Each structure stands twice: as C-alpha cells, then as structure tokens.
A and B are shown apart, each in its own frame.
Chain A
Amino acid sequence: MVQTYDRLRTALEQGTTTCEAITQNYLSTIYEKQHLNAFLAVYEDYALNTARSIDEKMKRGTAGPLAGMVVAVKDNICIKDRTVTCGSRMLEHFVSLYDATVIQKLKDADAIIIGKTNLDEFAMGSSSENSAFGRVKHPLKNEYVPGGSSGGSAVAVATGMSTTALGSDTGGSIRQPAAFCGVVGLKPTYGRVSRFGLVAYASSFDVIGPLGNCVIDVARVLQVIAGHDEKDSTSAYVPVPEYLIDIHKDITGLRVGLPKEYFDESLNSEIRSAIESAVNVLERNGVIVQEVSLPHTKYAIATYYILVTAEASSNLARYDGARYGYRSQNATDLYSLYVKSRSEGFGEEVKRRIMLGTYVLSAGYYDAYYRKGQKVRRLIRDEFQQVFQEIDCLLTPTSPTTAFKAGEKLKNPLEMYLSDIYTTSANLAGIPGISIPWGVDTNGMPIGVQLLAPQFGEPLLLRIAHFLESHRTM
C-alpha cells in the first residue's frame, strides 16, 4: 500500500504500527511485484533488524528524523559490504568497501534501507531497458517502460515497495521516471548533495536526489542528505535551510515563467493541456504566469551529450578488468585484457557513449566539441540566471511524452535522447528541478509537470510544488 511518511510516522508515534511491521509490509510488496524487476538486491534481514532496533529507539524517544522511513537505493550508490552493480555485468559481483555519504546520513537519521533498485547501466538511458539484469517494467502496463535511468526507484515508490527512494539525475534520470510512474522526483542543485559514493557517470552533472509519493516526503529526505561534505570538493558550502518551514506558505504574488521553447510541436497535446490546467490553478491563486524565452534551449541536448559522454569516457576508464570487476577469460595480453573485458563487460549504450566521449576529447576535435560545449553550457547557465531575474520559477513539461512501449526507442538512440529534452537543461545549468504528477493521459499513463528554480532555490521549488500537489485538479 502506498503511504506517505507523515502517515506512517503518526501511526508509529501513536503505537498503532511498528517499523518492523511497516518494513515487513514493504518486503511483501517487493516479493509480490518481483515481475516488475525493480530491485537488484533486497536486504530483508538487515532491514528487519534495523527496523526492530529503531522500534526500540522509538520507545525510548531517541529515534531520528526519518525513523521508520523505508528507502530504496538506486544501485549506483555505494553501501558498505554490498554489491553496487550499476546495472552492469562489469560490476555484477563488485562489493563496495564503504558507505556513500548519503547512505551514512540516511542511516544516522534512522531510515531503513531495504535494497538496491534496477537502473539503466551506469545510469545511461531513459527507459531502464539498458540494465544487464533485465528491464524494469511499468507497474500500470508491463509492456511499457517506467522511464530511466532511476526506473527501479520510481517503480518502488509508485507501487509501495518503499516509502521513498534515492535516484541520481544526470540529465533527467530522477524527474523523467518520476513523471512516467506518477511520483514526485527531485533533482537538487548541483553540489547540494554529496556525490561521494555515487558511481560517477558525468561528474559535473550528477546529483543524488529523492523520489517519493508526495512533496513533503522528498523534502524530508533532502533535509537529511543535503549539505557540504569534506569528501566531495564540489559540494557547496551553502547552509542547508529548513525545507519544511515555508512549504505551506501562500504563493500569491509569485511569478512563474513558461519558457516558450519548451512548448513546440514535439510536445504531446495531452501534456500541453496538463500544463495549461496547472497554469490555471496557479493563476486562480494569485500567481503571475508569464511567457519567457530561453533561446539556447535548442542546443541543450547536443551540448549535454557532448559534455556528458566526454566525462563518462574518462569516468568509466577504471573498469578495465585489471583490478576489480569483470575480467575477460579470453585475454592473451594486456591490450586484449582491456579490449575484451570492456567489450564483454559493458552494454551497447555504455559503449556508444564511451566512444562518443573519447571522440569529442580527441586531439583535433577537442575545440570543436568539448570546448564549444563548455561555452554553450555557460550560455545556457547565464540564460537561466537572467530569466530568474524576472520570475521565481519555471513551469515546464517533464517529458515530451508519457511512458512509451519497451523496445520502441531502443533502435533509435537519438529518439531516446530526445526524451530528455526538457530535463537536461537543469543539469547543464546546475539548477534544481522537481517533477510532480499531474493527471494521466487517455491511455491512463501518468503525466508529470516540472518546476525549475534558481541554484539553491529548493525552498521555493518545494513550496510551489507542494501547492500544486494539494490543488491537483487532474
């Protein structure tokens, strides 16, 4: 059963349930819905033991802020002594030696980590089909994809396999599956959450964020995982505000912008009407909605794929069969050890991106691709900054379509890449974004709307998202 954390916490405090019972419940759902292939590992004993010890803490009144919250973790985040497969043959049996900073923080807050969720290999994909361990299925229609790359996390939250989940968002990997599965997905500001222990895909884009069934749940998780980490030089020194303090505050007088470039002909008409209804809700409540322009949006996808693949080609160089991970049994010398281990250990999409990235960094091409990409990235960032002078927040679709059928876009990588068209800009600019469910299409598949705010604008983002959520008309 899908429940928000606040309900669970109240029940826990009233003594009408226990962490153990809650955990048992989620575990049952996980087993019941195994066919969705959302989990790659389930920590049944660990979760139940932790639940029992937190029940003790509840009795003593020493339980942490997330006591009884059951969290599923995307399998590209390290947990000590657990495998971190990244959905890849390459790391199928690889066991992490340490806890990611976010995991340490969740444990300290008495969250219960229930297991690891399936994903596109090394978070590269938008459908969770690129996993070496089989695709994740959409809970409503199994022949459909749940979005990606944090597809397993979105499905876990949507179907009541966990209260919340952690995902990672490099170009939309939290927000797009959240939209496809009808849950809330938050991509925090780059640097707001430590990346230490997140297996790197594209270091200057990657950010860990929460998925949940309501805005308050993701705000609670963010509250715990946010903050500077001395193990991550790119984590921000900006103090962490109390995200729940202003979340109920009136939104009258706020300005919301609709970037006109996000509403071109590729946008599905049902999603367009969903946005319109959200605009109506905002306007009826005193929000000023206006059209704005982000002219460099058309370069976002190209820029994104140039820079992301460049970083990925370097980040994934360490998986060479020499020290850990998959090692080809057919190698005859050092060179063939590299070639064969990587050819056999990585899937098609990962290899495609490594090759693309290697190419854009190559001598003679660097200026034309990587350096130019960096320049455009700066332009996109500046453009957002400028727009946020006039408005507080942007409202856009999360994805141009709702969930699509499995296999539909596998043959055409470019078409798959275009499903990130509304989400990549936030990663290029390093700004926070949230996707919240806003009705369903005629097919019954969930629609998501996206809100974008300036850097470290999470309080405002959560406030508007929470307002929309509580005034949902669709």
Chain B
Amino acid sequence: MWWSEKYEPVIGLEVHAQLLTRSKAFCGCSTKFGDSPNSNVCPICLGMPGVLPVLNKQVVNFTIRMGLATHCTIAPISIFARKNYFYPDLPKGYQISQYEEPICQNGWVEIELKNGVRKKIGITRIHMEEDAGKSIHEIDIDTYVDANRCGVPLIEIVSEPDMRSPEEAYHYLVTIRQLVTYLGICDGNMEEGSLRCDANVSVRLKGEKKLGTKVEVKNMNSFRFVERALQYEIERQVEALERGDEITQETMLWDANRGICVPMRSKEEAHDYRYFPDPDLVPVVVSEAWIEEVRRELPELPLEKRDRYIREYKIPQYDADVLTSEYEIANYFERVIKHLTHRTEEAYKLVSNWTMGDVLRVVNETHVSMENFPVEPQRLAEMVDLLVDGTISSKIAKEVFEEMLTSKETPRCIIERKGLMQINDPGVIGKVLDEILTRHAQQVEAYRSGKTQVFGFFVGETMKAMKGKANPKIVNELLKHKLQS
C-alpha cells in the first residue's frame, strides 16, 4: 500500500456468532432458520406482558466452549444486562445481553498469515446475548417484522485492537469461523448472517503510541467484504489525515454495491443504551466442575489437528493446512482414513490428494456441502485401497470417481461392470506388446539406432490397444526389456 510506509492501521473486530442450540436463549421456541415468518414464536420471545426469560443452559455450555478454545478466563459469576433501545424488531424494547460482567474475558487466538507468520490476537471478552427479529422493508409501503430470530442466542466475541492490516483482520475472522465450526457452536455462515462482523478502525503515524480516533464499520456480510471494507476505510482515513482533516468518531456502513463506506445517519447511532442488570435473570454461576466438564468434551482444535495430521499421516504441512481449514473438510478426510484397509503413508497421501483435489473441486463447482458429498468417505476409501493395491490405475480411478458422483455403486462394482480392472499379467501385456512391436518394425529400428523418444509412442499404442487398463509400470518395464533384447 502507498501509505503503509507512513501510517499504521489499528483494527479490532466484534464478531457475533449465532449459536446452534435447538431452542432459543430464553424460551422453548425452535431456532430453525428459514421457517415461515413468525412461526417459531411464543409469548416470551414476543415480549408479551407478564412473561419472564429462563436461560437455556446450552447457551452457557457453548459460550464456555468458545471461551476455553480462546484461552479466556471463565467468570464464576456473570450477569445479564438489558440493552435498551426502541426498534420494531425488538419486542421487549430491550435486548438481553451482558455488559459489566461478561462470562469470558482476557483470551487470545493465534492467526497465521499467508507468509506463514503467526500472530496472537487478544480477545477482550465474549458475552452471551439474544438476537433481535428481522425487519422486512417493502420500499415505500410497509415494514413487516419476522420474530423467528427474536431470542436466538448469540455470542459476541470482542477482540483487542491488535490487528494491523485488513489481511490480519481477514485471517482473524477466518480463525474465529474455524473455531466456532470446529466447536460445533455456530455454522459460520456469513452470508446467511449466522456470523456477523463489525470493525473498529483507526490509523496513526508509524511509531505513534496513541491510538487515532476510531470509526466503526458495520454491514460487512462476507469475508471478502471485510477485507475490502477495511481497505477502503483505512485509505479514507489516511487521505483525510494527509489533507490535514480530523477523523470524526462515527459509524460507517459498508455499501457492497458501490464498494464504499457510507456514514450512518447520526440519529440512528445516537443511542444511550442505558444498560443495567436484568432483574428477571439470576447471575450465571459457573462452577470449576462445569468448566472441567466442558473442557473434557472440547473437540480437537484446528492447530492441534493440523499438527497431528503431519505427525500421524506424514502428509505435507500444505496438505494439513488445506484439510484442516474447515471442520467439514477435516471431518471428511478423517472418515475416509478411518475406512482405509491399507494404512500406509502412500494411502494417506492419496486420500489427502483426492480430498484436496477432486472432492474440493466438485464441492466448489456444485456448492454441495461436505456432509452431503455424493461420494461417501467409505467409497472413496475403497477406491484408494484399489489404487494402492494396483487393482486400478490413477487414470481409471478418475473414471471411477466420476461414476461414483452419480451412482451409488461401490468402486468395485463400477470396475467390474465397466471392465475397468487393471491388467497386471505380464503375459497378457507382453502378448499385446509383441504385436505392436511387430506392426511397427520401422519404429523399433529407429529406437534401437538411438531415437529413444519413440518409447512413449509404444506406451501410448499399448494403452490404446488395452483401453487404458494395462498397469503402466509393467508396460514400461516389459517394453524396455523387449526393445533392448
């Protein structure tokens, strides 16, 4: 960046993650996404007169999981507070959140940048809160409110202002997403809003200790937008400073269509939330035993998993990074490994190659989820086993894989049905070779007089004649032998 010699951006992120509990935070309603509007509601989440909230324990469990995964201190006692503001999609006129005494504090996560450099980003706090409903605006006509989302549990993860570039912010967000999905507490879908991100951005001269005036950037609802919005906002601030202007503390909205940040109307942000402890809820008391129970059930986290892959399966770090980048990918990979008969390094590497290669390619092309991937781990494992024991060649494997995408047959069935079994019998291959050498006596002469490049021609002819089923290794060996004799 042209400014990066002179200026340093300071970025902190606030990430909201929608928790995957089955029922809402304070009532028994379902959290299911996509049901018809106002179908998952009850007097409690609709804020009817006289109702009271009762905390869903699973919300606390999930939050402790995230707290432990981010090395936070889990508070033995934390308090729910009311955040008061008026909005049609906020039925009670306040949101139940945590303010002065959040459940998790003082943690950190490690992020890894493209160049392999690792950096610790501090986590200030993680707190529990409830989501608001959704306003559906019909331009110039009416506003409708869908209360299905009212009361769906969220955690807000607040980072320290430790990031120094949009790239770092991007990697931080990727890490947070990776963690919540690994922990099984959030589906991590930014486009659908189950993961939301706001940023606090300021810039200062390099070497300056004091923080600049911060601007809040909201509405960055995809990973790509976060990096672009921050880039835009940093440049806007640097340009302002270069002009000698002062930065005003304000809230900006990222406008994805125009690719710019627009200031929010000041009336919308002039909130005094009048936080105070919610008298309807008792303090959340978390015992040591409870924390230990959650810790015991904590799944393997991305970095641990990556290191284990390298250690246990002897795959390269690059492979391990790709495979552990998302929980679903790692899960698929491990399930294939589990079904392997050949438990060799060669087989592991093949599973890794196939997962990173053809499997991810199809996933990206068809947007099918890993969970519903048409080739089940068991069938891919069988195919890899067939590859390892030489029953099929990698060329045939491609054909088998394509076939498995549309049929439910096992690789063995496909091979048998289509007669794709690799021919390993030197006798059979030798016979075909002899025929080809006889038919192309001229080329044989050429080879023997030193034009060794015709070797490939013979291989090609043999494979063609044997419909690609010949074991290429045996073809090579026999051919070499026959041409030399």
Q: Which residues of A contact B (CB under 8 A)?
A: 77-78, 84, 86, 91, 94, 96-98, 100, 195-200, 202-204, 230-234, 310-311, 313-314, 316-318, 320, 322-324, 334, 338, 358, 361-363, 366, 370
Contacts and interface: CB of A to CB of B under 8 A. Distances in A.
Contact of B82 (A97, A198, A204, A314): A314
B88 A322 contact: yes
B91 A370 contact: no
A370 B93 CA distance: 19
Contacts of B49: 78, 84, 86, 91, 94, 96, 199-200, 318
Contacts of B54: 230-233
B91 A318 contact: yes
Contact of A233 (B50, B52, B275): B52
Given A78-B50, A317-B84, A318-B49, A233 B43 contact: no
Nearest to A232: B52
Nearest to B272: A363
Contacts of B52: 195-196, 231-234
Interface stretch (B124-132, B279-287, B375-383): B279-287
Contacts of A234: 52, 279-282
Given A233-B282, A320-B93, A338-B86, A96 B276 contact: no
B274 interface: yes
B322 interface: no
B51 interface: yes
Given A78-B49, A97-B48, A314 B280 contact: no
A204 B53 CA distance: 14
Contacts of A318: 47, 49, 91-93
B50 A198 contact: yes
Contacts of B274: 313-314, 358, 361-363, 366
Interface in B68-92: 82, 84, 86, 88, 91-92
B46 interface: yes
Interface in B325-339: none
Contact of A196 (B47, B50, B91, B282): B50
A330 B94 CA distance: 25
Nearest to A363: B272
B436 interface: no
Contacts of B91: 318, 323
A352 B47 CA distance: 23
Nearest to B88: A322
Given A203-B280, A233-B280, A317 B50 contact: no
18 contacts: A77-B50, A98-B48, A196-B52, A199-B49, A203-B280, A204-B279, A233-B55, A234-B52, A313-B274, A314-B82, A314-B84, A317-B92, A317-B93, A318-B93, A320-B86, A323-B46, A323-B145, A361-B276
Contacts of B145: 322-323
Given A200-B280, A234-B281, A366-B276, 4 more contacts: A100-B50, A231-B52, A310-B276, A363-B274
Specify the main secondary structure of chain A where it touches its partner. Answer: loop
Contact of B48 (A96, A204, A310, A370): A96
A318 B46 CA distance: 10
A217 B276 CA distance: 39
Contact of B84 (A77, A98, A338, A361): A361
Of B49, B84, B281, B282, most A-chain CB atoms within 10 Å: B49
Contacts of B281: 233-234
B50 A84 contact: yes
The 5 lowest CB-CB distance pairs between A and B, nearest first, are: A317-B93, A204-B279, A361-B274, A203-B279, A199-B49
Contacts of A334: 88, 143
Given A233-B52, A318-B49, A318-B93, A97 B276 contact: no
A314 B276 contact: yes
A200 B50 CA distance: 6
B130 to A, nearest CB: 14
Contact of B53 (A96, A230, A233, A363): A233
Given A317-B84, A317-B93, A199 B282 contact: no
Chain B CB within 10 Å, residue with most, of A78, A199, A317, A358:
A317
A453 B200 CA distance: 53
B51 A196 contact: yes
Nearest to B53: A233
Contact of B50 (A199, A202, A311): A199
Contacts of A203: 279-280
A334 B5 CA distance: 48
